[in-house]
């Protein structure tokens, strides 16, 4: 049996098995867009059909998932990942020591800044377990040929034997996302016809014939592999005289190189390299001119802009909680007028001028209608900015902890409010694909779902219910900000300030 056929068989095991639990979720917000059922994920993980090692090397004869020590040492595809992560740790430690010389930093509770223990990535007691499968066909605008992406999200876990002989498992703060293309251009169905984006979308929405979503009989086994994304809680710091409680997350991306069959360090999509841009006058001029060009400005407004690599970073630290006020914890801080020290990249007049130029060309802005709207989009279009937005401890998708003996004592919500609130938009795109129509790929701000899902989300924490982000028209001075005036609260709730200076608050029950 060929490599390609083996990976296809693995996927048939995944999608052709017991789908009864999936059927029960048909009415949920994630129907067709994500697999989050813990029992189903447990079956997939234990079947070995979707382990990282089997997907990268389908010819392997092992019937169990590789532990971390073997995963990185025996798979040459992954050999460049550990040293790249080590280098980022070294840079991070040096920067923290320089910024706060009086703070101690290291692994363990005795340090002011407690680091993630990298030894677990070389341990025989840890491995990556499947935490969820997410359909990202809403990202087909990045590469229409591949119809978007399918993300297999793994969570690092430690397995231990207790003194009484029983076994226990503890999830560790690291995710490992294997990103696959939703289809390969050479992929064919059982009759030999090319698989279309419409067919892939119909399979996801129908929860029926899932065969061929990852891999095909007519393409190389690795033709569907795109990249690996890692997210590590690199440190936690208790509240002190120097700062509030803080948790930092290291984000890295490794693109698959088919020629060398390895994952190589890559830039993060739309992760602006703020410090490098601010330090280089020519680069800042080029970046401003590029972003404010009407065509790019339009895509920036809609959340579908693809920033060129020369402006991007190969790593990002996402501090949480970042808060509502502008600070250097936010990825764009210092690039806007009135922030930090030195000359900004964008002045208020630059943004106002770009808005006027767009209007003169007949471009309708859907989200950015003010300087504040431009600033918010400049933050949330980045990798780190998105992870600071309504995430669960820096992770938008930690997955339900199906390893826990008692689910009530573990994480029972698979994803952040931002993730859940975005599912209607993603399903809308799947539905358009399935009908053979051109989808609307635009998205609103990460803090607030687009109004196209307002009816289903009305009164929930995602749209205008308790805990939703809202707009305070009377906070501060000046005219109402058109970028946020639609951010209201449901009846019986009121928008309360989250900080003294921000005009964005949260919906709570009215108090006297």
- Tens-digit pLDDT profile for residues 262-282: 999 999 999 999 999 999 999
Looking at residue 302, what is its pLDDT?
96
Q: Indicate if the pLDDT at residue 255 is higher than 90.
A: yes
- Banded model confidence at residue 411, pLDDT cuts 50, 70, 90: low
Q: Indicate if the pLDDT at residue 323 is higher than 80.
A: no
Looking at residue 179, what is its pLDDT?
96
Q: Indicate if the pLDDT at residue 499 is higher than 80.
A: no
- Tens-digit pLDDT profile for residues 342-401: 899 999 999 999 999 999 999 999 999 999 999 999 999 999 998 888 888 889 999 888
Q: How far apart are CA 481 and CA 372, in angstroms?
A: 8
Query: pLDDT higher for 277 or 189?
Result: 277
- Banded model confidence at residue 156, pLDDT cuts 50, 70, 90: very high
Looking at residue 211, what is its pLDDT?
38
Looking at residue 412, what is its pLDDT?
64
Question: What average pLDDT does the chain have?
Answer: 86
363: nearest Cα among 296, 286, 428: 296
- Banded model confidence at residue 63, pLDDT cuts 50, 70, 90: low
Give the mean model confidence (pLDDT) for residues 121-143: 95
Q: Indicate if the pLDDT at residue 10 is higher than 70.
A: no
Phi, psi of 415 (to 5 degrees): -155, 170
User: Are 473 and 479 contacting, i.e. CB atoms less than 8 angstroms apart?
Assistant: no
- Longest Cα–Cα distance of the chain, Å, equals 74
Alpha helices by DSSP H, listed for 192-245, are 197-206
Question: Residue 22, SS3?
Answer: helix
Q: Indicate if the pLDDT at residue 197 is higher than 90.
A: yes
Q: How far apart are CA 72 and CA 66, in angstroms?
A: 9
Instruction: Pick the range with the lowest mean pLDDT from 183-197, 227-241, 422-436.
Output: 183-197
Can you point out the beta strands (E) in 162-208?
A: 167-181
Instruction: Pick the range with the lowest mean pLDDT from 25-34, 78-87, 379-388.
Output: 25-34
Looking at residue 237, what is its pLDDT?
93
Looking at residue 61, what is its pLDDT?
67
- Banded model confidence at residue 207, pLDDT cuts 50, 70, 90: low
Q: Indicate if the pLDDT at residue 28 is higher than 80.
A: no
Looking at residue 209, what is its pLDDT?
37
Give the mean model confidence (pLDDT) for residues 161-174: 90
- Tens-digit pLDDT profile for residues 439-477: 999 999 988 887 776 678 888 888 889 989 999 987 766
Give the mean model confidence (pLDDT) for residues 403-417: 70
Separation in Å, CA 427 to CA 143, 152, 452:
18, 18, 11
Q: What percent of the chain has pLDDT over 70?
A: 88
**DSSP string across 87-110:** HHHHHHHHHHHHH-TTS-EESSTT
Q: What percent of the chain has pLDDT over 90?
A: 60
Give the mean model confidence (pLDDT) for residues 316-339: 90
Q: Indicate if the pLDDT at residue 4 is higher than 50.
A: no
Query: pLDDT higher for 300 or 241?
Result: 300
Q: How far apart are CA 373 and CA 387, in angstroms?
A: 18
Give the mean model confidence (pLDDT) for residues 487-502: 87
Instruction: Pick the range with the lowest mean pLDDT from 65-69, 279-283, 324-328.
Output: 324-328
- Tens-digit pLDDT profile for residues 85-108: 999 999 999 999 999 999 999 999
Count of Cβ atoms closer than 10 Å to residue 426 Cβ: 25
Count of Cβ atoms closer than 10 Å to residue 186 Cβ: 13
Looking at residue 182, what is its pLDDT?
92
Residues facing residue 317 across a β-bridge: 250
Looking at residue 50, what is its pLDDT?
85
Q: How far apart are CA 132 and CA 136, in angstroms?
A: 13
User: Are 303 and 377 contacting, i.e. CB atoms less than 8 angstroms apart?
Assistant: yes
């Amino acid at each position: 049996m060929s490599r390609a056929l083996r990976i296809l068989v693995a996927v048939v095991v995944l999608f052709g098995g017991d789908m009864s639990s999936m059927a029960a979720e048909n009415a949920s917000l994630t129907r067709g867009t994500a697999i989050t059922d813990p029992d189903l994920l447990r079956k997939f993980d234990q079947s070995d059909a979707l382990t990282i090692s089997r997907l990268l090397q389908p010819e392997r004869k092992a019937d169990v998932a590789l532990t971390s020590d073997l995963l990185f040492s025996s798979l040459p595809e992954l050999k460049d990942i550990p040293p790249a992560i080590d280098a980022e740790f070294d840079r991070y430690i040096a920067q923290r020591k320089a910024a706060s010389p009086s703070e101690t930093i290291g692994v363990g509770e005795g340090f002011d800044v407690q680091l993630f223990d990298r030894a677990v990535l070389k341990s025989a007691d840890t491995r990556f377990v499947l935490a969820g499968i997410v359909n990202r066909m809403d990202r087909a605008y990045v590469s229409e040929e591949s119809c978007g992406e399918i993300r297999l999200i793994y969570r690092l876990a430690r397995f231990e034997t207790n003194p009484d002989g029983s076994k226990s498992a503890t999830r560790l703060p690291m995710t490992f996302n294997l990103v696959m293309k939703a289809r390969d251009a050479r992929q064919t169905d059982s009759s030999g016809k090319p698989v279309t984006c419409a067919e892939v979308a119909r399979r996801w929405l129908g929860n029926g014939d899932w065969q061929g979503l990852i891999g095909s009989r007519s393409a190389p086994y690795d033709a569907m592999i795109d990249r690996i994304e890692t997210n590590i809680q690199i440190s936690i710091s208790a509240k002190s005289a120097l700062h509030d409680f803080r948790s930092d997350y290291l984000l890295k991306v490794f693109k698959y190189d088919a020629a060398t069959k390895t994952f190589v360090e890559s830039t993060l999509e739309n992760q602006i390299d703020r410090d490098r841009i601010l330090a280089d006058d020519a680069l800042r001029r080029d970046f401003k001119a590029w972003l404010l060009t009407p065509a790019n400005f339009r895509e920036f407004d809609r959340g579908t802009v693809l920033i060129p690599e020369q402006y991007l970073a190969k790593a990002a630290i996402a501090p949480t909680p970042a808060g509502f006020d502008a600070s250097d914890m936010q990825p764009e801080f210092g690039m806007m007028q009135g922030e930090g020290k030195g000359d900004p990249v964008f002045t208020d007049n630059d943004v106002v001028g770009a808005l006027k130029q767009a209007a003169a060309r007949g471009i309708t802005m859907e989200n950015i209608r003010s300087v504040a709207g431009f600033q918010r989009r400049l933050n949330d279009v980045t990798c780190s900015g998105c992870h600071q937005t309504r995430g669960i401890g820096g992770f938008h998708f930690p997955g339900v902890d199906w390893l826990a003996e008692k689910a009530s004592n573990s994480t029972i919500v698979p994803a952040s409010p931002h993730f859940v609130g975005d599912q209607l938009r993603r399903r809308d795109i799947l539905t358009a694909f399935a009908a053979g129509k051109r989808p609307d790929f635009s998205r609103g701000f990460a803090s607030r779902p687009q109004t196209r899902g307002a009816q289903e989300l009305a009164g929930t924490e995602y749209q205008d219910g308790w805990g939703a982000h809202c707009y305070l028209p009377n906070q501060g001075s000046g005219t109402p900000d058109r970028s946020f005036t639609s951010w209201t609260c449901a009846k019986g709730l009121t928008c309360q300030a989250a900080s003294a200076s921000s005009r964005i608050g949260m919906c709570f029950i009215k108090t006297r």
